[in-house]
């Protein structure tokens, strides 16, 4: 988050705003910072350098077969959550907790957190639905069909890093997403048909009906996995590497001025 007070800026310095958080998480009021930053590396598409949680993907050059086998009458979904709406934290505005609690009425949803405050907040809506466990003791993704990759806020171009971790990982788990101001924001950066968006459904109950259909039908489940046979992710350096590159670039630019 940006500091509340603006420090003095030496005239010879170039400032870079680097953040992978949503606009709401970054700061409640960024207008007072107008004119201070020379460059931006944030999630928005109009940033000087766009901050991307996910790695780019490309077409596979050889035949590849990934297929889920088996059917189930029970929908198993997982959600790891650390930030809720508990007192003293920045506000979660997406309504993800309320949506998840309603969805849990119709499917087998396991919610895990390592924070007592978050556990207490969710328990207000649904006692015993959430379990407080350290990260290392939480169950593996392979035990589930779906993962709730819900954003904490619905902002333009903001997609949670958890979504990308699911896609880049080896587990045949389908992410369920709710973020972005428009569904096209996912379509522009993610492999096609690699996720399920809640905006395609009228209610959590409607979504649950679709999830039950997917797990009871091999063809339907593999429809959301077919992209893994066509595309692969390639690593182009982590965020620290990219930040180092930006700093070097800015240093060279500053010396030329």
> How far is the C-alpha of 244 from the C-alpha of 249, rounded, in Å?
9
Domain boundaries, the chain: 16-52+236-256, 76-233
Pairing of strands 231-233, 57-59: antiparallel
The string of pLDDT tens digits covering residues 50-98 is 666 666 677 777 677 777 877 888 999 999 887 776 444 445 667 888 8
Residue found by looking up tokens 């940033």 in the block: 47
The string of pLDDT tens digits covering residues 32-57 is 677 777 777 776 666 776 666 666 67
Average pLDDT of adjacent 10-residue blocks, the chain of 257 residues = 71 73 60 72 69 68 75 91 62 79 94 80 78 78 94 78 88 91 81 94 98 96 92 65 66 60
Residue found by looking up tokens 């009871």 in the block: 216
> How far is the C-alpha of 70 from the C-alpha of 165, rounded, in Å?
24
Superfamily name with CATH number, domain 76-233: Glycosyl transferase family 10, C-terminal domain (3.40.50.11660)
pTM of the model: 0.77
């Amino acid at each position: 988050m940006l500091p509340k007070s603006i420090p003095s800026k030496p005239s010879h310095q170039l400032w870079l705003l680097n953040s992978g958080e949503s606009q709401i998480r970054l700061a409640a009021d960024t207008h007072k910072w107008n004119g201070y930053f020379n460059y931006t590396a944030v999630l928005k598409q109009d940033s000087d350098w766009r901050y991307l949680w996910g790695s780019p993907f490309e077409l596979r050059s050889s035949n590849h077969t990934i297929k889920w086998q088996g059917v189930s009458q029970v929908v198993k979904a997982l959600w790891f959550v650390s930030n809720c709406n508990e007192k003293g934290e920045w506000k979660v505005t997406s309504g993800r907790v309320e949506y998840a609690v309603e969805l849990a009425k119709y499917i087998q949803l396991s919610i895990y957190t390592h924070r007592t405050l978050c556990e207490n907040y969710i328990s207000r809506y649904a006692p015993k639905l959430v379990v407080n466990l350290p990260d290392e003791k939480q169950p593996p993704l392979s035990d589930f069909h779906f993962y709730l990759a819900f954003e904490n806020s619905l902002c333009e171009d903001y997609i949670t890093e958890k979504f990308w971790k699911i896609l880049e990982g080896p587990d045949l788990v389908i992410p369920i997403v709710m973020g972005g101001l428009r569904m096209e924001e996912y379509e522009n950066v993610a492999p096609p048909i690699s996720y399920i968006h809640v905006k395609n459904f009228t209610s959590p109950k409607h979504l649950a009906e679709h999830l039950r259909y997917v797990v009871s039908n091999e063809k339907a489940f593999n429809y959301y996995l077919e992209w893994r046979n066509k595309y692969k992710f390639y690593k182009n350096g982590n965020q620290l590497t990219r930040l180092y590159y930006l700093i070097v670039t800015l240093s060279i630019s500053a010396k030329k001025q």
